[in-house]
Structure 1
């Protein structure tokens, strides 16, 4: 049986006599679910190289190690596809996703995804990992995507997301002139009862909070920086439409005032997707325990859109 590199914790003097379970949950931040899984593994949890029950008490200087079995995504076909790697280490793979590509294979769409490209990349590098994206990006949204290399890393970043400690920043090109240079949209989101695949702002929906700041105001559009407190499906697109400034190129969340305009027609000739880019992702790195940020520059199509808007 093969394992990933272990998580290691040396018990400090002030924790002499602590229960091992406490060390695992409070210091290594292992979730209950993962802890249950580790207990079934032969060398999942050891103290000074010896497998132990989590109910034992540890001594100062003890070496606590957590090992997870190596995994691989056997149901994902490896494909030699373009993969823009921003960062990779033994814990994480950070890539810049192109617009138009989906993250994970779905029913009827088994190839040409980020997952296929990542599995191929790992196969060529001799890395055995299961594909575990820690968040989602819409098919037509470009930008930073983080992929965990083991269940522990996935759990750690997911927990940060639940606690709203992950920084997710976007750049979006929206229609209209914004009256305020910055603001907050606090509008509950839920499914549209008449179109279940579409989301709307509705009083009975789930809490959703979006912050925005105008980066550059053009004659009839704007470039805005957006950051989220919550992560509802289509949140940015729904909220910007609700504000009266839908995303350029968004065919679902738009408004009649912008649909038939000359500017919209000219923009459509330059952009065949919604003008949304996830340009920054930040969190506490599960391996180093330090804050880390990853950036993806504005892609070619949106940079071209910006230049066109600046000239009009």
Structure 2
């Protein structure tokens, strides 16, 4: 049986006499579900190299180690695809995702996904990991994508997301002249009962909060910086449409006044996708316990769009 590199914690003097379970859950932030899973492995939890029950008391200086079995995505076919790697360590793989590629295989779409490329990359590097993206990006959205290499890392970042501690920033090109240079959209979102694949702002929906700031105003459009407090499906696209400024190239959430305009048609033809880019992702790194941020520069298609909009002023 093979294991990932152990997670190590040295008990400080002030935690002398703590129950091991408390150390694991309160200091290492191991969830109850993951803790139950680790306990089942042969060498899951050890203190000073000896397997222990989690109800023992620890002493200052004790070396607590957690080991998790190596996993791999046996249902994902390896495929040699270009990957734009921003960062990789034993805990995480951070990519700059291209627009037009989906993250995970779906029914009838088993190849040409980020997952296929990542599994191939790890196979070539001799790395045994299961493909675990810690968040989602739409097929047409480009930008920073984080992939966890172990269940612990995935759980740690997921918990930060639940606590709204993960920083997500986007750049979007939206239609119209945005009067308020910055603002917050606090409107609940849910599925459209008549078209379940579409989300709408509705009073009885789920809480959704989006902040925005105008970076550059053009003649008929604007570049805005957007950051989220919540992560609802299509949240940015739905909220910006609700504000009266749908994203350029977004056919699903456009508005009639922009849908048939010549400038909209030309922009959509130039772009071929919604003008949304996940520019920045920040969180406390589960390995170093330090705040870490990753940035993906504006891709070529959006840079060209920005130049065209500037010239159209």
TM-score (norm 1): 1.00
Is 2:86 aligned against 1:86? yes
The 2-side partners of 1:120 and 1:179 are apart by 48
Q: Which residue of 1 aligns with 2:109?
A: 109
After TM superposition, give the deviation of residue 102 of structure 1 in Å. Answer: 0.3
Superposition pairs for residues 13-52 of structure 1, below 5 Å? 13-52=13-52
Is 2:172 aligned against 1:172? yes
Moved over 4 A (4+): none
The 2-side partners of 1:99 and 1:174 are apart by 17
Mark the runs of 5 or more structure 2 residues left unpaired by the alignment.
Answer: none
The 2-side partners of 1:28 and 1:274 are apart by 40
Q: Which residue of 1 aligns with 2:272?
A: 272
The 1-side partners of 2:105 and 2:132 are apart by 12
Q: Which residue of 2 aligns with 1:140?
A: 140
The 1-side partners of 2:228 and 2:164 are apart by 9
Q: Which residue of 2 aligns with 1:281?
A: 281
- What secondary structure does 2:197 align onto? strand
Superposed CA deviations along residues 95-135 of structure 1, whole A, max 9, x for unmatched, are: 00000000000111110000000000000000000000000
- What secondary structure does 2:305 align onto? helix
Q: Which residue of 1 aligns with 2:73?
A: 73
- What secondary structure does 1:213 align onto? strand
Q: Which residue of 2 aligns with 1:231?
A: 231
The 2-side partners of 1:34 and 1:41 are apart by 11
- What secondary structure does 1:139 align onto? coil
After TM superposition, give the deviation of residue 269 of structure 1 in Å. Answer: 2.1
Is 2:253 aligned against 1:253? yes
The 1-side partners of 2:266 and 2:3 are apart by 55
Superposed CA deviations along residues 158-209 of structure 1, whole A, max 9, x for unmatched, are: 0000000000000000000001000000110001111010000000100000
- What secondary structure does 1:115 align onto? helix
The 2-side partners of 1:129 and 1:216 are apart by 42
Superposed CA deviations along residues 199-224 of structure 1, whole A, max 9, x for unmatched, are: 00000100000000000000000000
The 2-side partners of 1:210 and 1:9 are apart by 37
The 2-side partners of 1:168 and 1:90 are apart by 23
Mark the runs of 5 or more structure 1 residues left unpaired by the alignment.
Answer: none
Superposed CA deviations along residues 224-277 of structure 1, whole A, max 9, x for unmatched, are: 000000000000000000000000000000000001111011112210000000
Q: Which residue of 2 aligns with 1:149?
A: 149
The 1-side partners of 2:142 and 2:200 are apart by 23
